[in-house]
Structure 1
């Protein structure tokens, strides 16, 4: 990928209709009445991002809210997901750059001593502080939000039975209800796994020591982020992938990421089936189609399952799919009148910002609004190094949708900032409608891809073409300039341009 894949033919006006605009996301307050229904009482099951977004919006509008949480306030993201994982990954990044960097000839590398227990204490202190500031204190500021600690299940279409953590039961009746119970790690039915002290992402983030060897079962976001982090902290890591890495993404991403991880000393096994697990003497043996694999720790990161099995959904007439995910429309309504669902307990993409957006829109609709959740311009980031970031459709998805597409792949050797950083690992790929140049999607593997992708997301939402991107002003010696250069490759050979040619 040292040069553009191809140069675009001259564009012609071949679009029969104007499809240049991507539908915008409806604002949560759209259609909101000025007077909230008198005495409106909303039960919110859960206390994560979706639940908090809904509860605070409802309370601000004058509704009474009962928030029921069976575990720790704040849900997955702040406690055992986004926040601790990004702290952990950043610490591993610092350790890695002390050991090796493109500037080792002039800055002598060193082997850092890793005190995982100290890193864990620092990580947990930040988690505790954020939970207090963004969850405990926020709830406390709203007098109309009542917290109940316990396990909720539906007793009927307008009531919940809550088994209180302190003992006893409480019946909560409601006018509206939001189900926002999140998800948990899904555990495969693998012989020998039950009863063994394997890790899920929760245990991996809470471990106070770095194992000499780590097996990672899985090849999606959580698996790869934690695998690379542990490798950088000193584990000998083996990733076991049933197919390819990040198999739902453009194949270029998985291929490049596998090469990068192997380059850091990790073993990456693709197209490998796992058959059974043995655990004895403090050691795991994973029996696979590639032969037996041994390690002191085993991380199972093969997906997540919705926390809906104990809700007695049928008592309220709430429909779930075969995987237990609650079925909702773009308005977040379930199959039962007055009951909504948001976040990871549905089939929505499992990102905290999607959960929060769905919770706020559900709240708006409970209050009489007409908000809808649109995901056509939803950005996503994988926090490996380099990062993986995507928005919109892949080339395969666009073709499957019946669109005639044109694509370009720009290697980072053509991005001046990447050259200045001496780090040209990655690429920028743009997918465009062939006849109009309308941007359909972007896939990026790069240092800082998570920061770059929002520019592509805004362009996609605004219905911009790759020609609009190519003509836009981007600051020089930034990674996001790669979007402009990739867009220019649709009509020009950027290898022949000066370094800051417009």
Structure 2
């Protein structure tokens, strides 16, 4: 008995970065593609993640510079007034709508794949899966495809803290829709999102307290945590480390929030007008009926995939946050393209995260690529590290902001660079340069003797490499 003819070559659930990368690649291969989206086209990045958060961070940075410039630059006098939050949010929405239209919606017509608004659920059998789609107008239909891609992303997750569900707590999504700047804010969490949101609101005029279970950016170098602790202290952000929040309740007198946490062996209460929970995200897989078609999931609901992004059903693939892998939009996009190559060209390509750049858009920015000192040691590499304070980087001196460092982790036996971490202005660009350095397998000596334009932050990587053999305090700033 012959198998039913598929209606499409690829059916995609979701419309974010991974979904679009897959749809673009598949249509370029001449495949028939269907995309199903139950909400707003574009996914997390353009609608509620990267684009809006970085737009607001840029606005907060502008206000902070205006308030701070008089102290940093002699002869400059600046000021900044109160923030009109409603106007700021309107501007953010306008930017999001423009980018959603230009970079997502309009591309669908340009490439020519089909999109349907509605809910999609996997049905059928593991041997013959189908999609059951319920459209916005209530019409139901079944669609059969040669391959399926689940790219439904992730959503903010709140831990089971007593009383939290009874409060109007903020997430990274809802915080960016506030019409007024809160007088005070508790931020629960110490990861990338918590860091960005805490500094964003502090720079808009909110008194911010962070309750952190371990340390800031705990997966990165301790040097980064210490530097950001100092930066945040200077900006009036209180960071309470090793704080385990046990309960949250609404203050009946003020309408604000009271959080109780275990701190230094005792109990302490923290009060603020609002609380923001930034303790991570969870894959969006509930209701997809994955088990019925033989797709295995993990404890957090993530779709378990192999290194080629195939699930336990060889016709069903997953890409982006829904896999539980690193939550960066460029990871999702890489997943989408790779999945198509493997499904239709039998490319057998595998995901390789060894040189994945990581960026937290604080100011100064935290960015890293490759291994930390700890990770290198755990991998059995005998490492030799150097930490270059920004006071030795000419670009930082002319910026009049030497808060930060550049750290190189290298193999002591070969000199090969295994990782680079930086806290600096535009450190994300340093991480991008680091990707190429690590991918090429370059050594400290090679980087120390390469061309590097003067008065760029990237020159700091060269100077950090020179510090392995040279006293950089004795380098001429124009003849390094």
Alignment TM-score > 0.5, same fold = yes
* Alpha carbons 1:98, 1:112 under 8 Å: kept: no
Query: Per the alignment, do residues 39 and 172 of structure 1 end up closer, same or farther by CA in structure 2, a change over 3 Å counting?
Result: closer
Tell me which residue corresponds to 1:285: 258
* Alpha carbons 1:239, 1:267 under 8 Å: kept: yes
Question: 124-133 or 149-158: which moved more?
Answer: 149-158
Residue 90 of structure 1: SS of its match in structure 2?
helix
Q: Distance in 2 between matches of 1:282 and 1:67?
A: 44
* Alpha carbons 1:99, 1:112 under 8 Å: kept: no
1:62-141 counterparts in 2 under 5 A? 62-101=30-69, 102-141=71-110
Deviation at 1:163, TM superposition (A): 2.6
Q: Distance in 2 between matches of 1:272 and 1:420?
A: 38
Tell me which residue corresponds to 1:269: 240
Q: Distance in 1 between matches of 2:172 and 2:106?
A: 27
Tell me which residue corresponds to 1:198: 169
Structure with the larger RCO, 1 or 2 (CA within 8 Å, 6+ apart): 1
Deviation at 1:137, TM superposition (A): 0.3
Q: 1:208 aligns with which of 179, 189, 193?
A: 179
Deviation at 1:103, TM superposition (A): 3.0
Deviation at 1:169, TM superposition (A): 2.3
Deviation at 1:38, TM superposition (A): 10
Q: Distance in 2 between matches of 1:44 and 1:248?
A: 33
In the alignment, is residue 465 of structure 1 matched against residue 443 of structure 2?
yes
Compute the TM-score of the two structures, normalised by the length of structure 2. 0.94
Q: 1:50 aligns with which of 18, 25, 38?
A: 18
1:185-334 counterparts in 2 under 5 A? 185-279=156-250, 280=252, 281-290=254-263, 291-334=268-311
Question: 281-290 or 204-213: which moved more?
Answer: 281-290
Residue 477 of structure 2: SS of its match in structure 1?
coil
Q: How many residues align?
A: 465
1:335-484 counterparts in 2 under 5 A? 335-370=312-347, 371-484=349-462
* Alpha carbons 1:334, 1:341 under 8 Å: kept: yes
* Alpha carbons 1:176, 1:339 under 8 Å: kept: yes
* Alpha carbons 2:166, 2:249 under 8 Å: kept: no
* Alpha carbons 2:73, 2:400 under 8 Å: kept: no
Unaligned runs of 5+ in 2: none
Q: Distance in 1 between matches of 2:9 and 2:229?
A: 51
Q: Distance in 2 between matches of 1:369 and 1:470?
A: 41
Compute the TM-score of the two structures, normalised by the length of structure 1. 0.90
Q: Distance in 2 between matches of 1:197 and 1:214?
A: 13
Q: Distance in 2 between matches of 1:83 and 1:204?
A: 14
Deviation at 1:151, TM superposition (A): 1.7
Q: Distance in 2 between matches of 1:111 and 1:50?
A: 40
Residue 159 of structure 1: SS of its match in structure 2?
strand
Unaligned runs of 5+ in 1: 1-36
Q: Distance in 1 between matches of 2:461 and 2:111?
A: 43
* Alpha carbons 1:284, 1:294 under 8 Å: kept: yes
